[in-house]
Every structure is written in structure tokens, then in C-alpha cells.
Amino acid sequence: MKFVSWNVNGLRSCLKKGFVESVLGLDADFICLQETKMERGQAEVALPGYHEFWNSADKKGYSGTAIFTRREPLSVSYGMDLDKHDHEGRLITLEYPDFWLVNCYTPNAQNELARIGYRMEWEDDLLDYLKSLDKTKPVVYCGDLNVAHEEIDLKNPKTNRGNAGFSDQERAAMTRLLGSGFTDTFRLLYPDQEGAYSWWSYRFHAREKNAGWRIDYFIVSDRLGERVEQAAIHPDVQGSDHCPVSLTLAE
């Protein structure tokens, strides 16, 4: 089973930059998108053979998630069933016979950590949500989680310490998640790999210099760890300021 996650930073824009060819080339069973910035039907997404599930923000052209899957789920849910979190289209959960798939676009803490209070509420509630799912069957949790966990996960950790995405609070929340029965699949396979990034600023030629951050993840319940065959980052795929990340699990 192959999973792909990609923050497309506006799907309508990404469609004009080879999105369909890129994702078909990755040949995934599950394609999880973040920051779609659209509602279903606003553009044609030509992925025949895939079921579509969309969660769009109340605010037009903002946030949003979608999943395209070759495998029809047993059930679908949108959000966490918590009103304070469920207006920005940030979460889709699909249920399958032997796992849950959770696609997430984590709120950004914003400049000067203006939204850090809300971000921490989100982290607490999301962890409770994932743990509740994990009680019934293992979880595959993916998306733009808007945090570089350790110094190895971004090019310039010293100068970014305390900034959104690399604040002590956000990093501690990721540490709590990974200490609660969940595994970062990329670091499971490549614990010491440097220069592995999934997002680059559009400024200062950051992508061509590979001055990036690893903020896009596949995280799984610990008991799925033995089924992880591959966890990859695909920096050659263009079309967004993020690149896709992927996970392959043994059936």
C-alpha cells in the first residue's frame, strides 16, 4: 500500500503546474492533500479510478484538505467533532478494515507566534483524537504538521529557534505525540539523514539552495512500524512550495 501526502498550496494553481502528471507518476493508493484552497467542483481533478473526499474551510480560498483513494473506505469523518476546530477544513479521517487514515493540515502558529495559544489547543485535542482512534485499530496520520521536530529537520535551526514551526511549544507537542505510541516513519528508516526537507520558502532561492524544513510527515501507530517498507521525500516534484512525501506499508 502506498500513501502520498502533499501540501499543494492551492490546488487550482498546482493543477496548472503538472499536478495530475506528478501524482499519477507516484502511483499511490492514497493521495492526501493539504491547503487545497477550493471546494470540490471548482476545478477538474482528472484522477480516474479514485474516490474523492473533500473538507473545505468555511472561508473561501483558505486552508482545506482532500483525499483521493483507490480503496473505498468503510466510513468517512470530517474534523474532530469539536466546533472550535471544525471550520477550517483541516482534518479528514477514513476508516479501513485494519487501520485509520487521518489527513491533517495543522494550523500555523503565525508570525511572532500570534496563534500559538490556539495551536496548542489543537495539538492537545488532536492527540486525544488520535489516541481514541488508536484504541480500536492502528492509525496512519499524515499531512503538513507545521513543525520541524528536531534541529536535523531544518537547515538553519539556530536562527529559527522560537519562530513559528520551530518553537519550543510546537516541538514539545510533537515529542508528546511520538511518546504516546506513534512513530515518525521517515526517522524510523533514516534517523540521521540531513538535508531531507519538504518545504522551502519562495524567498532567497531557498529551494535551489536546499535551505528547507521537514514539516510534512507520515506518522503511524507504533505497531505498524514493522510494516513500513519505505518512507520517502520527493523534492524533484514541483508545483508547490512543499514537495510530496510518501509511505509504503506492507499489506
Catalytic residues: 105, 144
Cell (9 digits) for 90: 483541516
Residue with cell 520517502: 232
Q: Say if CB 228 and CB 185 are below 8 A apart.
A: yes
Which residues have C-beta within 8 Å of that of residue 135, sequence separation ≥ 6?
none
Q: What SS3 state is found at 195?
A: coil
- For β-strands 65-69 and 51-55, DSSP reports them as antiparallel
Position 202: which residue type?
A: Y
Quote the DSSP letter at residue 170: H
